[in-house]
Structure 1
Amino acid sequence: MAETSRPQARRPRNRKAQLADAAAELFRKHGYHQVSVNDIARAAGVTGPAVYRHFRGKQDILAHVLLSGMDTFGLVTEGALATTGTAGDQLAALLRAVAELAVDRREITALWRWEGRHLAEADRTKIRHRGAELMAQWGIALRDARPELSKSDAELLCWATLSVYGSLSDHHTSPPRRRFEDLLVTLASAITSWEVPRGDPVPVPEPEPAPTTPGSRREELLTAAISLFRERGYAAVSMEDIGARAGMAGPSIYRYFPGKAAILVAGGYRMADRLARTAAHAMTLPAQEALHHLATSYVDTVLRSDNIMATFANELRNLPERDRKDLVRLQRHYVGHWYRLLRTVAPELPEPDAKVVVHVALTIVNDLARTPKLLRRPRIAAELTELAVTVLDAGR
């Protein structure tokens, strides 16, 4: 009897999408530089060479993930705004639809916020243009529902609302799905309905000056390094780059820091110390007053931090393991003050929901504080504080 040949397995038609989904989740969890093409292949159940049938390399995968994610976001936006009803009904439909998307696809907002700098310039340009189109759609929808808003105020509220959903990339807390979506809609609605207060301009706090002691050269290196890490990403910056930015060269750099990791560690501990001092004072106050003090002091610290906060959040995974664990512990201890105070003033609020609310408040501050256009607003420090407090109150 002739031997029957085994039919060849067919390659799935959606293999490219499978690879992109696997890559998106790995990038979200571990960061772009910590993920290899082989890691992506293993996660998708294929061999490394198979990836190159669909993509030129890891950078090409990231570009596809980001652009596909923005396309998905755009389709959700357009679908919600095409619903029948008033402008308010359409805005409500948009907030609900994006809440469902955010719970289902956390990695989309995570990659927009952290990894776009690794793209080629042509792809970055595409991302910027697509993002501008989406922001314009959101701004029009919000001003249709609230025609009294100026274009700049609507832009502030749109950025803050997007941060409500983007906050999901900063934690792993997951209340039951329907409750999770409802909570996000509640918080986003509080932002879109927020009355932008009027008042005299309040200057943005100046960054803390570097000491004028003999150790100030170390401070100059730290400042230069943090700025470069924020601009290019930790992996793309060398000690020579840092020295050049600080006006130093050669072995003299190593008299102050033994390497890049030590600089990143120093920045992380500096930020942790600043936050710990402000939290210690807040915890001596009544719970409601303490929450407001935490929001105010956090905004002040972030605006004075000279990019340390954003850089540390971005590059945490690049720290040596011992320091990473210690700094994560300090970070969690600080955020824990917010959880406990919120549950003190709202004891009926489930713990997972309280964590979601706190992360939304912190993310709004972090995101808007590194958006140059918004930092030019005359009352941005007060606005960031009030937006954070609005979220905390809405969460209750």
Structure 2
Amino acid sequence: MARTAPSGKGPRTGDKRPRDRKTQLAAVAAELFRARGYHGVGINDIAAAAGITGPALYRHFKDKQAILAHVLRAGLEEIEEATGAASLAGAHPSPDQLNTLLTELAGKSVERRDAAALWRWEGRHLDAETQRDLRERSGAMLATWTKVLLRVRPELPPEDAELLCWAVLSVFGSVSVHRTSVPKRRFEQLLVDIATRVLRAGLPTGSAPSGPDAPATGIPHAAASDAAASGAVPPGGVTSGAVASGATGTPDLAAGAVGAGPASEPLTTPSRREQILTEATELFASHGFSAVSMDDIGRAAGIAGPSVYRHFPSKASLLGAIGRRAGDRLLLGAEDALRSDGEWPALHRLAESYVATLTGQPELLVSFSVDRVHIDERDRPELLRIQREYVSRWVRLLEAARPELDTREAKITVHAALTVANDLTRTRRVNRRPNLPAELLTLMSTVLGAGGRDTAPARQSSTPDVAGQDGRSGYTGR
């Protein structure tokens, strides 16, 4: 017998499908990917969270990878649209046009924090063609920003303008590495103020420091290539990623003072455990975590692969130890910085120690370059505690130096400064610059709002009013 249609107008409730179902499903998947990692989520998990069956999900996406690609493409399209909406095609873009662009980008960043996090951490799971497409499109967008900045600041060398644009991209991307929030308009204005200061920044001149204490630059690590492979926004660091997963820790200093370059002669022969840890760090940095086996680590340390297990039960436990070693370096640097006379000198020394650690020994790069699913769950609470302790030292200093910022605003600013340094160190387009450590220090100080208080030598320029405002977040230098 034929089914009788229910009385009343319109389709039955059970037949209704929400408008733009594909976008809604992608949003559900994005939240799950962010919470559990790409490999920790299955199609059935996404379907269950969306209230549908697995087969129903396949009507919209052919597989999980297609869902991730949809999320990331949508995020990039919004940034492209914001760039186009600012009408930057003229020969002389006005400060208002640039301010419009920065405001649009800030708004998208605040609204799409989850998408930005996925862009950073899960882009590596896309197929090669999609990764290439995202790289090319994001590269073209960044090239547009660079051309605009050169029209506003013609005194800049093109490579310096590009560096500043990468730094601005990291400022907006930094919202994905933490969950601190303030009212939306204030959040957006804070990001615009920071980005404006960055676009005005004068980069240091002269050659990079030399000698045994000079940090290494031009990191030839898999960490850097992974960043480039996942698109224009490489992963962030001590404030993100493995940090969010807990990979910045404490005990186990193995290689001297914070920020020191490779020691010429060790005072004592390192223990077998320390040898294994050092070799594992180098291998993870050069080849990536997944590509390295325990046999590889044993071979590099001069022992049989199974012997490694006497010291570390798994690769995950090695990551925990690497994170603790990185944390030791950072916390020791923080203790030294706090001996400075005044908040701004202390912040400057804290930034110096961070840059030295980041560009010197590879532990810090490794600890925040590895997917959080690889971190041993037993290590995560301790490492997360250490990360929070380290960031809180920055925040307390910045609150004292800039009393107009409340704690949440100071925390957002600190995360932006750390993320700029992390990202640029990992980005192949810029991480081989010979003066990178000094440039990172200048950019971190600029993000924090140090203004003219930074004594690093800088190019003399008129530093025009890039966004038509002085930046309410406290910038004093011109």
Q: Does the CA-based 8 Å contact 1:91-1:142 persist in structure 2?
A: no
Q: How does 1:355-394 map to 2 (within 5 A)?
A: 355-393=411-449
Q: Which residue of 2 aligns with 1:16?
A: 22
2:191 to 172, 184, 190: 184
Q: Which residue of 1 aligns with 2:242?
A: none
User: Does 2:311 correspond to 1:256?
Assistant: yes
User: Does 2:341 correspond to 1:334?
Assistant: no
Distance (whole Å) between structure 2 residues aligned to residue 225 and residue 5 of structure 1: 67
User: Does 2:343 correspond to 1:268?
Assistant: no
Q: Does the CA-based 8 Å contact 1:224-1:242 persist in structure 2?
A: no
TM-score (norm 2): 0.75
Distance (whole Å) between structure 2 residues aligned to residue 248 and residue 107 of structure 1: 43
Q: Which residue of 2 aligns with 1:92?
A: 99
Residue 64 (structure 1) shift: 2.0
1:35-68 CA-partner distances (Å, limit 9, x unpaired): 2222322332322222222222222221222222
Q: Which residue of 1 aligns with 2:348?
A: 292
Distance (whole Å) between structure 2 residues aligned to residue 124 and residue 376 of structure 1: 23
Q: Which amino acid aligns with 1:304?
A: G
1:218-258 CA-partner distances (Å, limit 9, x unpaired): 13542245326xx6565x76545655777876423323321
Residue 33 (structure 1) shift: 2.0
User: Does 2:46 correspond to 1:40?
Assistant: yes
User: Does 2:135 correspond to 1:128?
Assistant: yes
Q: Which amino acid aligns with 1:205?
A: P
Q: Does the CA-based 8 Å contact 1:208-1:305 persist in structure 2?
A: yes
Q: Does the CA-based 8 Å contact 1:139-1:151 persist in structure 2?
A: yes
Q: How does 1:303-314 map to 2 (within 5 A)?
A: 303-306=359-362, 308-309=364-365, 311-312=367-368, 314=370
Distance (whole Å) between structure 1 residues aligned to residue 296 and residue 371 of structure 2: 17
Q: Does the CA-based 8 Å contact 1:109-1:165 persist in structure 2?
A: no
Which runs of no fewer than 5 residues in structure 2 stay unpaired? 7-11, 217-260, 451-472
Distance (whole Å) between structure 1 residues aligned to residue 114 and residue 99 of structure 2: 23
Q: Which residue of 1 aligns with 2:458?
A: none
Number of residues of Structure 1 aligned to a counterpart in Structure 2: 392
Q: Which residue of 2 aligns with 1:213?
A: 270
SS in 2 for 1:95: helix
Residue 373 (structure 1) shift: 2.7
Higher relative contact order, chain-length normalized (CA < 8 Å, sep 6+)? 2
Q: Does the CA-based 8 Å contact 2:204-2:438 persist in structure 1?
A: no
Q: Which residue of 1 aligns with 2:357?
A: 301
Q: Which amino acid aligns with 2:276?
A: R
Distance (whole Å) between structure 2 residues aligned to residue 33 and residue 326 of structure 1: 24
Which runs of no fewer than 5 residues in structure 1 stay unpaired? none
Distance (whole Å) between structure 1 residues aligned to residue 84 and residue 303 of structure 2: 52
Q: Which residue of 2 aligns with 1:28?
A: 34
Aligned in 2, Cα 1:244/1:4: closer, same or farther, shift over 3 Å? Answer: farther
Q: Does the CA-based 8 Å contact 1:225-1:263 persist in structure 2?
A: no
Q: Which amino acid aligns with 1:199?
A: G
Moved more, 212-221 or 61-70: 212-221
Residue 390 (structure 1) shift: 0.9
Q: Which amino acid aligns with 1:202?
A: P
Q: Does the CA-based 8 Å contact 1:106-1:169 persist in structure 2?
A: yes
Residue 138 (structure 1) shift: 1.3
Aligned in 2, Cα 1:250/1:393: closer, same or farther, shift over 3 Å? Answer: closer
Q: Does the CA-based 8 Å contact 1:224-1:245 persist in structure 2?
A: no
Distance (whole Å) between structure 2 residues aligned to residue 275 and residue 110 of structure 1: 24
Q: Which amino acid aligns with 1:55?
A: F
| Greater helix share, structure number | 1
Q: Does the CA-based 8 Å contact 1:261-1:318 persist in structure 2?
A: yes
TM-score (norm 1): 0.90
In angstroms, what is the RMSD of aligned CA positions? Answer: 2.6
Distance (whole Å) between structure 1 residues aligned to residue 15 and residue 301 of structure 2: 58
**Percent pairwise identity:** 47
Distance (whole Å) between structure 2 residues aligned to residue 241 and residue 74 of structure 1: 43
Aligned in 2, Cα 1:268/1:292: closer, same or farther, shift over 3 Å? Answer: same
Q: Which residue of 1 aligns with 2:161?
A: 154
